[in-house]
Amino acid sequence: MAFLENLLLVTLAGLVTALATGLGAIPFFFVRDVNNRMNVVLWGFSSGIMISASLFGLLREGLAEGTPAELAVGMAAGVLLVVSAHNVITNAEVDPRQYEEADFKKLLLILGVLTVHSFPEGIAVGVSFADLGIEGGTTIVGFTVPVLAVFMTVAISIHNVPEGTAISIPLRAMGVSRWKMVWWAVFSSLPQPIGAAVAFTFVRLARDVLPYGFGFAAGAMIYLVLTEFVPEAMELGAELPSGGKPEFVGGAVAGALLMVPLNFV
């Protein structure tokens, strides 16, 4: 019975981090229309967030858990995921009554990759709860919770907010409603409570696969930015002065500056 109670607590912690992703869509409740210049800036901002989170968050954590070779294998698998997802989505049947065909495919690709990438973060939460119930932690609602678990849950929740913004940027450009943006942002992180529960149950195995998981997520995110976000921004900025490159770079720098400190929380 105690194990089930502990498992429930860990799953709830993962759910908290997932719900935090939805907060990233809140700014769009105050913004109606986004012109091409602003869209380019936002795509750059989104790219800066993802590249920074990959380099200074996922890869840094991966190196702390494993070897560069293990990370490289994970990254290659992540790139393979994006390539495979792109091929599947390119041939997928779409409903033109909901979205333009290209936009719907891009929506599926972005959400699919981000959903998969959130699973290793859930694993990290579950692993941090490995010592749940053992002396030396802090007491929360009757549970002795490891300090590491508290910091990990808070850190990933903070980390997920700008990721929710990154998800909402392309959705907003596609005309998706605000509340649906909140839902899709949360949806992309729903694997986190699942990953937390699995990792807590099989913590020894989870520790072994963590380096591959972090590399997998980083490879998928970086490749997605390079093959989807950058081309989309350049297409939107084609008619702007200098092809929209200054706007894109400015947005990317802003996104990186936001994420770098959060990755060291």
Name the CA dihedral angle for 153, 158, 159, 163, rounded to a multiple of 10 degrees: 120
pLDDT at 58: 76
Residue 85: which of 114, 45, 46 has the closest Cα? Answer: 114
Q: How far apart are CA 69 and CA 73, in angstroms?
A: 6
Give the position of tokens 């940027």. 169
What is the pLDDT, as a whole number, of residue 155? 73
Domain locations in the chain? 2-29+43-262
pLDDT at 68: 93
Q: Cβ distance 136 to 210 under 8 Å?
A: no
User: In the structure encoding, which two tokens stand for residue 146, read together?
Assistant: 């490891």
CA dist 121 and 224 (Å) reads 18
Tally of residues, the chain: 265
Identify the pLDDT of residue 96: 42
What pLDDT does 97 receive?
Answer: 44
pLDDT at 253: 93
Separation in Å, CA 53 to CA 117, 163, 259, 261, 264: 11, 9, 6, 10, 10
- Of 161, 159, 169, nearest to 28 by C-alpha is 169
C-alpha torsion sign, points 64, 66, 67, 69: negative
Amino acid at 29: F
Cβ neighbours, 10 Å, residue 229: 25
Measure CA of the first residue to CA of the last residue in the chain; give whole Å: 34
Query: pLDDT 10s per residue in the chain (265 long)?
Result: 477 888 888 899 999 999 998 988 888 888 765 577 877 887 888 788 878 878 887 788 788 878 999 999 989 988 887 787 677 656 655 454 454 455 666 666 666 666 666 777 787 788 777 666 555 556 665 666 767 677 778 777 877 777 787 778 777 777 778 888 898 889 888 888 988 888 788 766 666 777 888 888 788 878 888 887 788 788 878 888 888 899 999 989 998 887 777 655 5
User: Which string of DSSP letters, residue by residue, matches the chain?
Assistant: -HHHHHHHHHHHHHHHHHHHHHGGGGGGGS-----HHHHHHHHHHHHHHHHHIIIIIIHHHHHHHS-HHHHHHHHHHHHHHHHHHHHHHHT----TTTS-HHHHHHHHHHHHHHHHHHHHHHHHHHHHTTTTTSTTSEEETTEEE-HHHHHHHHHHHHHHHHHHHHHHHHHHHTT--HHHHHHHHHHHTTHHHHHHHHHHHTHHHHHHHHHHHHHHHHHHHHHHIIIIIHHHHHHHTTTSGGGGHHHHHHHHHHHHHHHHHHTT-
Beta bridge partners of 145: 138
